[in-house]
Amino acid sequence: MRNTARWAAAIGLTAAAVCGPLTGAAVAAPGAAPSSLYAPSVLVMTTGHGNDAATATPERAVTLTCAPTASGTHPAAVQACAELRGTGGDFEALKPSPGVWCTKLYDPVVVTVQGVWQGKRVDYERSFGNACMRDATGGGVFAF
């Protein structure tokens, strides 16, 4: 229960820092015209050691914005956005990079992704056997 609260606090603080506080002025009226030519693509990504988000302590959180340009606190935002565009935003389609060899040492890490990808809500969680396996998956999406 305590770890879940930590994850929620980390995600909430990161979202507030990226999106700002939600006030009445920040919420669009129904039927309002979009304010941009680009569908929103803003993601908050977290990682921590453990089998799942409920039991892991968050160790790092980054933001990734992919429209109109790649930005955010993700260390490889341009590469990560390109890889996500290649899968249509499908995190399940991200595969390990060829030629990367990882040890079989079991030290589980979990990644969570929450936000919006091209106007659609994203809520993703995946566990990896160790940090090498996480970093190798998708090239640069989870390497933060």
Residue 27 lies in a domain: no
Q: Is 44 exposed, middle or buried (0-12, 13-18, 19+ CB in 10 A)?
A: buried
What pLDDT shows up at residue 27? 45
Domain that holds residue 13: 2-18+37-136
Q: Can you list the alpha helix ranges (DSSP code H) found in 36-130?
A: 77-86
Q: Distance between CA atoms of 103 and 98, rounded to whole angstroms?
A: 15
Assign 25 a pLDDT band (cuts: 50, 70, 90): very low
Residue 142 lies in a domain: no
Residue 65 lies in a domain: yes
Residue 44 lies in a domain: yes
Residue 70, pLDDT above cutoff 90: yes
DSSP 114-125: EEEETTEEEEEE
Residue 20, pLDDT above cutoff 90: no
CB 14 within 8 A of CB 42: no
How many domains would you assign to the chain?
Answer: 1
Residue 105 lies in a domain: yes
CATH number at residue 131: 3.30.350.10
Residue 31 lies in a domain: no
At 104-115, the pLDDT tens digits run 999 999 999 999
Does the predicted model carry a pTM greater than 0.75?
A: no
Q: What is the torsional sign of CA 94, 113, 120, 76?
A: negative
Residue 57 lies in a domain: yes
Residue 141 lies in a domain: no
